[in-house]
Structure 1
Amino acid sequence: MRVFRGLCAAVVVAAGLVVPVQAASAAQRPAVGSEPVYDFAGAIRETAWVDVGRDGDGDGKPDRVAADIVRPAEPAAQGRKIPVIMDASPYYSSLGRGNESEFKTYDQQGRPVGFPLYYDNYFVPRGYAVVLVDLAGTNRSTGCVDVGGASDVQSAKKVVDWLNGRATGYSAKSGGSKVAASWSDGGVGMIGKSYDGTIANGVAATGVAGLKTIVPISAISSWYDYYRSDGASFGFDPDGLAETVETRNGGQDCSAQNAKLAKGATANGDYGPFWAERDYAAQAKNVHASVFVSHGVNDLNVKTINFGQWWDALGKAGVQRKIWLAQTGHVDPFDYRRAEWVDTLHQWFDHYLMGVDNGIETQPMATVERQPDQWADQSSYPAAGVKATTLRPHAGATAGVGTLSTAATSGTASFTDNLDGSENGWAATPSATSPNRVLYSTGSLSTPLQVSGTSSITVTATPSTSSARLSAMLVDYGPASIRNYSAGGEGIKTGTTETCWGSTAPGDDACYKVTSADTTNVGFTVISRGWADLANYRSLSKESPLTPGKPYTMTFRLATTDHVVPASHTLALVIGGTDADFITGPAKGPKLTIDLAKTSVQVPLVGTAPAGPGAALPRTALSSVANRPQLDLR
């Protein structure tokens, strides 16, 4: 069964039409949102190949990227220009887009027919053009992928330039005649999930004129933090991703470029020039576009530090921002809160691309999923009243198990890295000694504590060998029903019925399978985690040899989140060595002795943290979701 939403009228209706206004004053801006008054079936579908001014595949010719365009015919016939919604992706012919893995399709003449996702179906009838760009080296574009580097970013930036009359487009992949985007008003909004949203971040960080807004969904802000974590390696590298997305684009030899990727992404986890080129958070001061972020707080693929550091850097740059945070893993909000997402996105684009005075910029800054399908608005993110709070571990009667409070502490604790540990194994028996981790908890809370923002931990550890890894996590102990983010759907189930979002044309369906929350009951929830190589204690740019028996102090980040630990639950800190589900370990696992007086965790809290020890945690084994991360960057 299909349910239709927002169907386009079959003919053009003048009443209620919103004419794009880019520079109108507040008094002049229209207050009525864009309506579906344009004929989608009769929309213009075409391709422009934009010269990006690079020769990434070394064939002696400038690379051209394919920009597939669908736009309503009526505005151009009336001499009016329209804004653009753009999704630049490497996946249009390799992995597909969306929950149903849609691909681009073309007719026998090579003209675009099928546009993945609902953006064209919904927004073209409302007066927008939708442009889907193949990154260099993918689908119908020439060149090579460089996984977030200059080629990827320029692939999309040059299309923004072309839409503003600053770059050259052609009617063919090679040769052809010059084509201009005379129908474009120059205003561009970029959107996309994962790699696509990452490119939106990268283009915004160039400060390119004409980019009015971006909507990065589960996106990377620094490629270092996708492949590495404070010196530790997640065990996979960018050249593998490049080869995956280039597989269906014949004609280019990208072996030289891929070799550069392999060489640049050094295995030792040091942060160097390769990663700096791909660090958009460090370039956030250049961003002029507004930013609407969406991310799952349980995303173990594009880990949440990516939205956290991006969000903070954008705030320092004075960028207008909005954020949605779900309990899901790597999932698009269209697939966990469909109607509300489409409505909010519609208002966002209407405001920032058409100048509609709909008040979206004055609505609550943050919307957070507290329990499956239960949402709460916040006036700010991190939450209002948040305070950086230092919690310290205290030794208890049981070895390796103690309390966590704001009070000063002393003593030591030890564990051995067996190179095969995992967060669920470390957390499952919180009151028992483990040879492979230490655990400190607040005891039962009398009032709730909200963790909102990015935590960090400072550890002083003495290794028994010349190399060592550290893993740390914050755990909410207490029964809860959560989205099953480690299952195949990462917190959603896909049904068989469909709802339709916009207009359908031959070869371009607007209908998508309904999804629902996939939930599970747990005894504890890991709410934040982080990893580090102790050899990077001095600097992320260069590791230093460790001397066995000598103490080293290192501070590293834990994942960004927004989570309420309810009253009667317990907040705990767990410290271990190699978490084998996430990072690669050293050649030999060391014994690590923790100096408790010089170890602490800094947590952004709303509420009052315990100043003294609390009650012990239960002795029974507890369960959580499986924690092996999903590694499909779609």
Structure 2
Amino acid sequence: MRRPWRRGLAVLSVTALAVLGVSPQAVAADEPPTIVVTDGVTQPVFGYGDAIRERLFVESTFDSDKDGLRDIIAFDVMRPKATQDGLKVPVVMDASPYYTTLCRGNDSECKVDVDGDGLLDKWPLWYDNYFVPRGYAVILLDMVGTGFSTGCPTTNAKEDNISAKQAINWLNGRATARNAAGEIVKADWHNGKTGMIGKSYDGSLAMATAVTGVKGLTTIVPIGGPTEYYDYVRSNGVVTRGNSYVSYLANVVTNPERRAHCAPVRDAIGAADGDEHGDYTSFWNERSYVKKVPNQTASVLLYHGINDDNVRADHMSKYWYALAENDVPRKLWISQEGHVDPFDSRREVWVNTLHRWFDFWLQGISNGIMDEPRLDIERAADVWETHADWPIPGMAQTEVFLQPGTTGAGGLKLVPTAKPVTSGFQDHRTQSQTTMINNPDVVQPNRLAFLSEPLTAPLHISGTPTMQIRASADQTDTNFGVILVDYGRDERVAHRASGEGIITLDTKDCWGLGNEHDPGCYRQTVKRVATADSELVTKGIMDAQNRISLRQSVPLVPGESYNFTWPLLPEDYVFKAGHRIGVILVASYPQYSSQADTTLANITVNLKSSKIVLPVVGGTAAAHAAGL
């Protein structure tokens, strides 16, 4: 076996020391252990079974449950035994509200103390197995009000957002932590650098911590995490999740025995969320990370499934655009799956990439990862490309007009026959998404369908499309929905099927070292694919009363025409030659929104002034080459 640390001095060889009359053995004995780097990456030379395990508690700066006591944040630490002999290591931290309730990962792992000694025997996820032997410490932190922490969850409000900051302050000597016996514990083994990682809620906590600008947080790796909680439960004024969802989730992540204690906190959340109108208020501003990106210094490796219907892709795009505006060091992976971890989508490449990322940012190893293309994107099942950036360089916002007839070249034509310059449809509060999309050549009273001719060349969009229409309604309110569709038979990742694009197998592979309680082995996956005649590419909705501002609803005057503009979800998609592009306009969109429009308005659209703006790689020239 390789020794867990190097011996000798970098400049003077053992032979030179002997000539000088100095004992090489004495010098080596005084030198602290170090990591071992081969081929540009840290090597697994430290033990896992003998790693030091601790559960620590740090007093926070807040009192979420208003009991007169500051909340205590609990976290579990695993670090190499060599840290007792002077090895300085960075930290990989996953802060989560789920460790003792919904658990983590595709294998649904919870924190488990098998022998009842107050220390973890089973550590969720694979980070401990893989990184501790390579000279890292791993911290699994219980967000406020969850696990072994006190207080109550507030669903991405201040107390949630700065829970992990308490541990980072301790790591860097700015806070006090104690063990279960009440003894003060210092992080004298820490090298001063911490990286945070996590999927979904955990990913949002990583971003929430980063935008505080806390010193010592060097990098973050958010995976499918909400960046604007308004966008998680709203979309342009429309409530997209059930009433009181924010307080509902706070209850889900609270340990059952504490739910009654936290009921007043949840009641206050429910009273302030504004479900009755869907407008943007200070309640949501507290739960926004995009606005706070100017405070951020930590680099970002961002991962998102472009077809994620849980944490939709606009969370990724808005955060990414803000990172670019503030010149934050960054990389991006975009997959074809839904709400899926890259460990379960592109496992080997992801592990290797994450390893090099942390080695660079936390260990200071020069391995060239920041010289590589900024974007990795999955074009089809397990077919990946790299590009210099995202959106793809050369993208230009390109107007494609909605036209009233089926004759003439270019554009998107109302089908199936020529129509006047205005056309109408009726709201339908229960019309299914399938009904909206299918049979685009058939007139339906509850939608308008526009189709291109078969494309004469591929058309690549990359970025955020925008819908612009001029319309009137015969009611004081209505919703608007739009779907961008690829009509063409093809095999695609089946991201809306069970598993969100993956099939979990019974076979396992192992990553890192382990023991009988935590072997570090996980079920493998394969992509779920299906062949279909169409693909929902992207979609968007808005409340017509929020046409001026998300902060204030303004009723419509029945019969009066207005300009309505709203974004679709971001996309990166290639329409193949021979396929047709479809734009479907509707009012209520029940499969996107839990809040069906109750007005059942009749809507009239002015086609002379209506268009979709597509982020086309190559701009107008590429659109014309494809026949638009």
Shift of 1:431: 1.3
For residues 226-273 of structure 1, give each alpha carbon's deviation from its aligned partner in whole angstroms, at most 9, with x where no partner exists.
Answer: 000000011322111000000345387111211121122111110010
Q: Which residue of 2 aligns with 1:598?
A: 609
C-alpha contact (below 8 Å) 1:448/1:565 kept by paired residues: yes
1:169 counterpart = 2:180: no
Give SS of 1:151's match: helix
1:454 counterpart = 2:454: no
Q: Which residue of 2 aligns with 1:256?
A: 264
1:295 counterpart = 2:304: yes
Shift of 1:11: 6.1
> Greater CA deviation, 570-579 or 342-351?
570-579
The TM-score, its normalising length taken from structure 2, stands at 0.90
1:143 counterpart = 2:148: no
For residues 171-206 of structure 1, give each alpha carbon's deviation from its aligned partner in whole angstroms, at most 9, with x where no partner exists.
Answer: 13xx82322222111201000000000111111111
Distance 2:560 2:330 in 1: 45
For residues 407-456 of structure 1, give each alpha carbon's deviation from its aligned partner in whole angstroms, at most 9, with x where no partner exists.
Answer: xx982121111101233221111111111111222221111111111112
Superposition pairs of residues 299-448 of structure 1, within 5 angstroms: 299-396=308-405, 403=412, 411-448=421-458
1:471 counterpart = 2:509: no
Distance 1:382 1:477 in 2: 24
Aligned mate of 1:80, from 87, 93, 110: 87
Shift of 1:484: 1.2
Structure 2 CA distance for partners of 1:319 and 1:102, relative to 1, 3 Å: same
Q: What are structure 2's unaligned runs of at least 5 residues?
A: 11-36
> Greater CA deviation, 598-607 or 356-365?
598-607
> Greater CA deviation, 601-610 or 368-377?
601-610
Distance 1:260 1:217 in 2: 30
Distance 1:211 1:189 in 2: 6
Distance 1:456 1:112 in 2: 49
Give SS of 2:526's match: strand
C-alpha contact (below 8 Å) 1:11/1:39 kept by paired residues: no
Give SS of 1:112's match: coil
> Greater CA deviation, 456-465 or 528-537?
456-465
C-alpha contact (below 8 Å) 2:203/2:226 kept by paired residues: yes
Q: Which residue of 1 aligns with 2:237?
A: 231
For residues 196-226 of structure 1, give each alpha carbon's deviation from its aligned partner in whole angstroms, at most 9, with x where no partner exists.
Answer: 0011111111111111111110111100000
1:507 counterpart = 2:499: no
Give SS of 1:599's match: strand
1:102 counterpart = 2:102: no
Distance 2:354 2:399 in 1: 38
Q: Which residue of 2 aligns with 1:3?
A: none
Distance 1:375 1:169 in 2: 44
> Greater CA deviation, 252-261 or 82-91?
252-261
Distance 1:492 1:534 in 2: 37
Distance 1:565 1:89 in 2: 39
Give SS of 1:475's match: strand
The AA in structure 2 aligned to 1:390 is: E
The AA in structure 2 aligned to 1:233 is: V
Cα root mean square deviation, aligned: 2.3
Shift of 1:564: 1.0
The TM-score, its normalising length taken from structure 1, stands at 0.89
C-alpha contact (below 8 Å) 1:461/1:592 kept by paired residues: yes
C-alpha contact (below 8 Å) 1:33/1:350 kept by paired residues: yes
Structure 2 CA distance for partners of 1:258 and 1:16, relative to 1, 3 Å: farther
1:517 counterpart = 2:527: yes
Distance 2:240 2:259 in 1: 32
Distance 2:103 2:376 in 1: 28
Q: Which residue of 2 aligns with 1:133?
A: 141
C-alpha contact (below 8 Å) 1:191/1:197 kept by paired residues: yes
Structure 2 CA distance for partners of 1:495 and 1:39, relative to 1, 3 Å: same
Moved over 4 A (4+): 15-18, 609-615
Superposition pairs of residues 194-273 of structure 1, within 5 angstroms: 194-236=200-242, 237-248=245-256, 250=258, 253-267=261-275, 268-273=277-282
Q: Which residue of 1 aligns with 2:6?
A: 14
Q: Which residue of 2 aligns with 1:278?
A: 287
For residues 369-408 of structure 1, give each alpha carbon's deviation from its aligned partner in whole angstroms, at most 9, with x where no partner exists.
Answer: 111111111111111111111111001259xxx8259xxx
Q: What are structure 1's unaligned runs of at least 5 residues?
A: 1-8, 19-28, 616-634
Distance 1:231 1:418 in 2: 19
Superposition pairs of residues 18-29 of structure 1, within 5 angstroms: none
Shift of 1:30: 9.3
Give SS of 2:570's match: strand
> Greater CA deviation, 332-341 or 48-57?
48-57
Q: Which residue of 1 aligns with 2:48?
A: 40
1:157 counterpart = 2:165: yes
Q: Which residue of 2 aligns with 1:619?
A: none
> Greater CA deviation, 421-430 or 332-341?
421-430
Identity across matched positions, percent: 38
The AA in structure 2 aligned to 1:56 is: S
The AA in structure 2 aligned to 1:100 is: D
C-alpha contact (below 8 Å) 1:301/1:330 kept by paired residues: yes
Structure 2 CA distance for partners of 1:250 and 1:260, relative to 1, 3 Å: closer
The one of the two structures with greater contact order (alpha-carbon pairs below 8 A, sep at least 6) is: 1
Give SS of 1:214's match: strand
Q: Which residue of 2 aligns with 1:22?
A: none
Q: Which residue of 1 aligns with 2:23?
A: none
